[in-house]
A and B are shown apart, each in its own frame.
Chain A
Amino acid sequence: MVSLMLVIPLIGALFIALCRSEERAKWIALFTTGLVLVLSVLLLFQFDVSKSSSFQFIDYGHWLPSLSIKYKVGVDGLSLIMVLMTALLTFIAVPSAWNYIDRRKRLFYALLLLLETAMLGVFVSLDLLLFYIFWEAMLIPMSLIIGIWGGERRIYSALKFFIYTFAGSIFLLVGMVVLVVFYTSLTGNFTFDLQQLLNLKLPLELQKWLFWAFFIAFAVKVPLFPFHTWLPDAHVEAPTPGSVILAGVLLKMGIYGFLRFSLPLFPDAYKLYAPVIFALGVIAIVYTALIALVQEDVKKIVAYSSVSHMGFVMIGLFSLTVQGIEGAIFQMLSHGLVSGALFFVVGIIYERLHTREVGKMGGLASLAPKLATLGMLFTMANVGLPGTSSFIGEFLTILGGYKASHLVGVLMALGVIFGAAYMLYMYRNVFFLEPKVLSFKDLDRRELLSLGLLALLVIWWGFNPEFIMKFIHGYTHRLLGGV
């Protein structure tokens, strides 16, 4: 079933390549991503929650026997919700591209579907090398999406994104090979199988080196301060669907990497270096929030707010408390929904006004009440208002951070205040004040449906976090049992 999810987008991309009509491409893409979404929901219901810490639905096959590299995919609680989110946001990305992408549509939707396969692959791979391949393969479609349909500085941003990520992942690859060779020297068994490697207890000295090798790759993707500079460029220049995917899914890959690899494989080094990460995380939260305060470009504000929120997630991850880690997982999920929605909203505004400057908007609330209402909801969610999903995540990560270090907890709370400041400031300038535009078309049905779906989930998970949490309890407890 998991393999089927990986194959369907590829088939969809093939259909798009074969069909002649530019218009039909988006329907094929919508259908394909919808199918994947349905499959992922089915997966959610068939998943055995009581065994959420072990991998289920494993598909297994030899791929490269001479190096014992396997095609092995499966999901545990963590992977499952990542898969769900990927499927959901890719599905949302299609309507967000509907009018925005006005040329080379077939290429765009084909790339989007290839990207979906690669992203899903990252989250379900149970073989180190398979993971790496999906991790890298994703770069080509994403860079092309930024580079072809992006804004003015699109080429610079696409290259920066590609090279930054690739620079991080060369350390990942070397680290993986070192890890596997070490495993071989102990057990005589050359394998990239994650489940077998997890049984290994590495000496601290090696853990330290490998931790940093993996760290660089994942931290670039998260992105953690000071590796975050690619993100504002990539986000701002990317077309709306690109931003939705970037914020919603790509950033989560780094965090997923920490959870899946760094923490279980190098627990001692992980604990040892937690203070460093706290420092970087706090800087990220406060510093990027301050940057966001002075931005004029709406998209940049949302982009910097992403970096800031990722700081929360990182601190939660490294607090090594149940609250911190569960909060971090929940927060990244919620951030996926909220920032995806915010980028969608920004995209809608840009489509109509052809500007993203805060100063040139204003008074949109009276012209477009539906957009303003939904915008309000997502703004509040991004601030972390109780009742929205972000509140749960933010609260739990702060709790985790506070447990690990009081100072960190206090500084994180400070970040929340800044967050409220820049988001509300932006909202006021865009939707209230005196109108600077004469006409503005409100949401059409397609946009309303996709944003409404996200809004529904944000509120639902805000009131009923256990729906998601139940999938990760088992995982978190087993994880922390090992530390």
Chain B
Amino acid sequence: MELNLSLFTPELFLACAGILLILIDLIIPSREKNGLFALITFGITSVAIVLTAVYSPFSPQEAFNGFIKKDFLSGLSQLLVLFTLLLTVLVSYDYLERFKTNYVGEYYYTLIFASLGAMLMIEANELATLFVSLEVMSISIYVLMALFKRDYRGKEAALKYFILGSVGAATLAYGFALLYGITGSTLYPEVAKALSSNLSAAAFLGIALVLSGFLFKVGAVPFHGWAPDAYHGAPTPVSLFMGAVVKVAAFVALLKLFFPVLLPFFERWGEVALIFGLVSALFGALAALGQENLKRMLAYSSISHAGVILSALATLPALAVYSVFFYLFAYTFMTIAAFGIISLLTVKGFKGENLSDWRGLYSKSPSLALLSVVIFMALAGIPPLLGFWAKFYVLVALVKTGKVLPALIVMVASLISLGFYLKPLVYAFMKEGKEERVIPGFSAYAAVLISSLVLIFLGLFPEVVSQASLLSLASFLKGVM
């Protein structure tokens, strides 16, 4: 029993930095804060990235009496979250230059707290910690969505997401409460131990509630209702952040809970995940077909992607961790790039979100149009981009465990999704539009460019991601076995 506080350095740093930023916000006068705060947040995030890289042990280590457990999987996922934060700051700077808010300081430090919540969620090894960190992340995001002046759509989305999100959180909490009531502990290893000797209906219900809560957070069918409104209504950089970070945090937390704790208790949870996953994959793809708004389309596409990731859970633990991490990695960069480019094209009055705004993009800005090819083809899973490999690993995992039909369904979903990923490209290249040049903001452009280059280069050399996934798998298994 020990605190092992040094392991917690990156999180402590981030928390302190966030609080410091609150204080700075009080002192600095309100004008022209955007640049300064973006710079500070960028710096803080960069330091946090270095710290996280340093304090991610390969062999799993516990801190706070086993309340949190760090291994390579959590370390890499946290890096993913922080990297998303870094690029979100770049995109946000431009966005805040264009759309005024009175809450510049609040915007940046809430982003930091949301990331902190996600990081804690990833390393939580105890039910209450998981719940609290989930709420830290979610509430920060509710706030972020409503920060902009006269952005009533954002405020509406925030309220909707808040109400539905609270129901989701309540489901999760109720499940946790049941598990605690049955097992008498909230620590994962002890819950797992107690569950394996106690097969009761209440435990069953508890787990079902927990899984529903997770399905809600990742936006899987039938708990997906909030996603389109939330993604659509939120300011684009917030959609970006939410799309990437919430998925990574929720899925990694689910992995850490699912395989060691829930699965040994009842083996068929895997099939449950598979069914919900396949339905989500198909539903998301079909529903996205009819969307005219790109953010809504991406929301449905995220439902589809979440479904594919879920279906990977139905395979063996080793295959699942490996392919899920790979997918999350690819998905993070695809989401950043896709929302980034929309944010980039969003000039006054919500342009760039609707398909018709993409008309003739190539003649307005050839480089952006070409980047959009990379982004949307990566999302569709066309080789040799990173998105293809993500899908491919899930496919191999499914076939290896003898699930050929689900593998085929996943591919059919990706075929359907092609129907809408091609749409923006059709508008950008094949339809003529007004000849007015788009002048993208530099920092947001850099963010889109970086993530697109990641999609290309890691698509050509996927071994890097593959090795990272293998290492995190090895580390994860070491901690569980």
Contacts and interface: CB of A to CB of B under 8 A. Distances in A.
A440 interface: no
A148 B430 contact: yes
Contacts of B418: 162-163, 166
B384 A163 contact: no
A104 B411 contact: no
B470 A66 contact: yes
B382 A177 contact: no
A132 B384 CA distance: 10
Say what secondary structure dominates the interface of chain A. Answer: helix
Given A66-B466, A137-B384, A163-B419, A147 B426 contact: yes
A173 interface: yes
A159 interface: yes
Given A148-B429, A158-B430, A174-B404, A66 B467 contact: yes
Interface stretch (B17-25, B46-54, B256-264, B395-403): B395-403
B426 A177 contact: no
B9 to A, nearest CB: 31
A100 B425 CA distance: 23
A159 B421 CA distance: 11
Nearest to B369: A107
A140 B377 CA distance: 8
Given A64-B466, A65-B463, A66-B470, A107 B377 contact: no
A63 interface: yes
Given A64-B463, A163-B418, A140 B373 contact: yes
A177 B466 contact: no
Nearest to B370: A107
Nearest to B430: A147
A136 B407 contact: no
A177 B366 contact: no
Given A147-B426, A166-B418, A170-B412, A177 B399 contact: yes
B439 interface: no
Contacts of B407: 174, 177
Given A107-B366, A132-B383, A177 B395 contact: yes
Contacts of B461: 63
Nearest to B384: A133
Contacts of A174: 395, 399, 404, 407-408, 411
Interface string A135-160: 01101100010011000001100110
A107 B366 CA distance: 9
B463 A181 contact: no
A442 B412 CA distance: 50
Contacts of A294: none
A181 B400 contact: yes
A170 B470 contact: no
B327 interface: no
Interface centre among B362, B384, B388, B399 (most CB of A within 10 A): B399
A67 interface: yes
Nearest to B470: A66
A171 B470 CA distance: 28
Contacts of A291: none
A178 interface: yes
A133 B383 contact: yes
A371 B399 CA distance: 56
Nearest to B414: A170
A63 B388 CA distance: 15
Given A140-B382, A159-B422, A162-B422, A147 B429 contact: yes
B462 interface: yes
A167 interface: yes
A132 B391 CA distance: 14
Contacts of B430: 147-148, 154-155, 158
Given A107-B366, A154-B430, A167-B415, A136 B399 contact: no
B426 A181 contact: no
Given A137-B382, A170-B408, A177-B407, A144 B429 contact: yes
Interface in B423-481: 425-426, 429-431, 461-463, 466-467, 470
Interface string B370-395: 00010001000011100010001001
A429 to B, nearest CB: 33
A63 to B, nearest CB: 7
A14 to B, nearest CB: 13
A247 B362 CA distance: 28
A429 B377 CA distance: 44
Nearest to A104: B362
B276 to A, nearest CB: 21
Contacts of B429: 144, 147-148
27 contacts: A63-B461, A63-B463, A64-B466, A65-B463, A66-B467, A129-B392, A132-B383, A133-B388, A136-B383, A136-B388, A137-B382, A137-B383, A140-B377, A147-B430, A148-B430, A155-B430, A159-B426, A162-B422, A166-B415, A170-B408, A171-B411, A174-B395, A174-B404, A174-B408, A177-B396, A177-B399, A181-B400
Given A107-B366, A170-B414, 14 more contacts: A63-B461, A64-B463, A137-B384, A140-B373, A140-B377, A162-B418, A163-B418, A166-B382, A166-B415, A174-B404, A177-B395, A177-B396, A177-B407, A178-B399
Interface of A: 63-67, 104, 107, 129, 132-133, 136-137, 139-140, 144, 147-148, 154-155, 158-159, 162-163, 166-167, 170-171, 173-174, 177-178, 181
Nearest first, the 10 closest Cβ-Cβ pairs linking A and B are A170-B411, A133-B383, A66-B466, A147-B430, A177-B399, A136-B383, A155-B430, A181-B399, A133-B384, A64-B463
